[in-house]
Amino acid sequence: MATILTKTLFSIFLILTPTFSITTDGIFSDQFAATKSKSHKHKMTHLHFYFHDIVSGKKPTAIRIAGPKNAFGTTVMTDDPLTEGLEPSSKVVGRAQGIYALASQHDYGLLMLMNFSFVEGRFNGSALSILGRNRVLDPVREMPVIGGSRIFRFVRGYALARTITYNQKTGDAVVEYNVFVMHP
């Protein structure tokens, strides 16, 4: 008896349930057949520049947007210049736009969420995205490059950061970046 009731209820459910069809009409997404790349060659690109984090003065390029000053939870928004040379007056090749936050209660470990947006040369209009841990007191820090745009689509790689100068009074810093990426 229970079996007949179950089958009847299931039949009624199927009749009353609308049917849905899945389409790939290109409006939201497309599914591609497995394809083989004509070339497995990727370019390795090395970028070298200086990140100028200016938190002092009348026109800072990095400002605290949340949390206590210099303690766990401090969050900073940046639009820092990236320059060809060490001096702030050297040629600007891009901007570091993003957020860093003091994410560790035990050391000076920053969570970096940063786009390096380039404005010069063949990389003009292209960007690299960094997401990772930056232990600022280590001599050299490594962070993953997790993506990019334009020339850097499908990129993968890493960034090495080394603090060149840090002014304890103002909080301003200059950090040297060596970025190595593989891209099509």
Domains annotated on the chain, with CATH: 41-183 (2.40.480.10)
pLDDT score, position 41: 79
pLDDT, tens digit, for every residue of 98-131?
A: 999 999 999 999 999 999 999 999 999 999 999 9
pLDDT, tens digit, for every residue of 10-61?
A: 454 444 444 444 444 445 555 556 555 555 678 899 999 999 999 999 999 9
Task: With H, G, I as helix, E, B as strand and everything else as coil, classify residue 15.
Answer: helix
pLDDT score, position 42: 84
Q: Is the dihedral of CA 18, 23, 28, 34 positive or negative?
A: positive
Mean pLDDT of 155-180: 97
The two tokens of residue 115 are 């786009």
pLDDT score, position 118: 97
- The mean of the pLDDT values for the chain is 86
pLDDT score, position 25: 47
The angle subtended at Cα 168 by Cα 162 and Cα 174, nearest 5°, is 30
Rounded percentage of the chain residues whose pLDDT exceeds 90 = 75
pLDDT score, position 156: 96
pLDDT at 146 over 70: yes
pLDDT score, position 103: 96
Q: What are phi and psi of 110, to 5 degrees?
A: -95, 145
What confidence category does residue 2 fall into, taking pLDDT thresholds of 50, 70 and 90? low
Mean pLDDT of 128-136: 97
> How many residues can be counted in the chain?
184
Under 8 Å between Cβ of 53 and 82: no
pLDDT score, position 170: 96
pLDDT score, position 14: 45
The two tokens of residue 54 are 């200016």
